[in-house]
Amino acid sequence: MTLPLPFSLAGRTALITGASSGLGAHFARLYAQAGAKVVLAARRTDRIAALAQDIGPAAHAVAMDVTSEDSITSAFAAGEAALGPIAIVVANAGTSAPGRATHVSEAGLRMVTDTNFTGAYLTAREGARRMMAAGVKETGQGRIILIGSITALLTGEGDSAYAATKAAIAHLGRNLAREWVRQGINVNTIQPGYIQTEIAGDFFETDLGKAKIAAFHRRRMQPIESLDAMMLYFASEASACVTGAVINVDDGQSL
């Protein structure tokens, strides 16, 4: 894969949460191909260990539960000890508790908010603290990317907690960008459309899922590779003057 020079991540270290599957695992491979060293953070340590072995010496797996600040702090410390100061953070870890709002349990609701919102907040905060301590104010190379969702823009039935947390992520990104705008850290949010990953399960194989695909304007699922260019852009020097952005990359699904 030949990358334009502005998208090169050579000499930089990225930490990616939720790296055990789906988008997180894909982003880890993408960033490694672009020249970055990648810290793979997730609870399922067997999966990230296998992914790190597959990627090679540029990858290191660390256990992280984004609902625990102590776990996040320990994971960042272990990642930096192995691969050096982290200049790119991708807050990707997420979960869902599908069902009508009248049926979702309190435990399910707390799981979604703790993972999707609080986890992203704590991950971004720990990354920013370490970037500041490493002198990123002088280099201007700090990058934090929050993974939102176009459900932040939509209404529907069956996943209101997930959609609400993703709406919160978009606003969180703008607020953190404003707070750290003079600290050499850019914070941007990408809102993907529906992509077939583990979190979706077999929903899109069902009649209801197939009907949803048929209702998309382009009548197809969005390919995971469609996020690559924007993920590289926001992580690289090319986006030096972009912070606080919320970008939909959804194959027109939200139109």
In a domain, 96, yes or no: yes
Instruction: Give Rg (Cα) of the chain.
Output: 17
**pLDDT tens-digit series, residues 32-61:** 999 999 999 999 999 999 999 999 999 999
At 189 the pLDDT is 98
**pLDDT tens-digit series, residues 78-114:** 999 999 999 999 999 999 998 899 999 999 999 999 9
DSSP state of 99: S
By C-alpha distance, which of 156, 180, 86, 163 is closest to 117?
163
**pLDDT tens-digit series, residues 120-130:** 999 999 999 99
CATH (domain of 112): 3.40.50.720
At 208 the pLDDT is 79
- Strands 59-63 and 185-192: what pairing? unpaired
User: Which residues are CB-neighbours of 6 under 8 A, at least 6 positions away?
Assistant: 236, 237, 238
In a domain, 168, yes or no: yes
Which of 121, 162, 194, 233 does the annotation list as catalytic?
Answer: 162
In a domain, 215, yes or no: yes
Instruction: Give the model's confidence band at 6: pLDDT under 50 very low, under 70 low, under 90 confident, else very high.
Output: confident
**pLDDT tens-digit series, residues 215-228:** 888 998 899 999 99
pLDDT exceeds cutoff 90 at 209: no
- Domain range enclosing 26: 5-248
* Cα–Cα distance for residue pair 177/144, rounded to 1 Å: 9
In a domain, 253, yes or no: no
The count of structural domains within the chain is 1
* Cα–Cα distance for residue pair 92/22, rounded to 1 Å: 10
pLDDT exceeds cutoff 80 at 197: no
- Known catalytic membership, residue 233: no
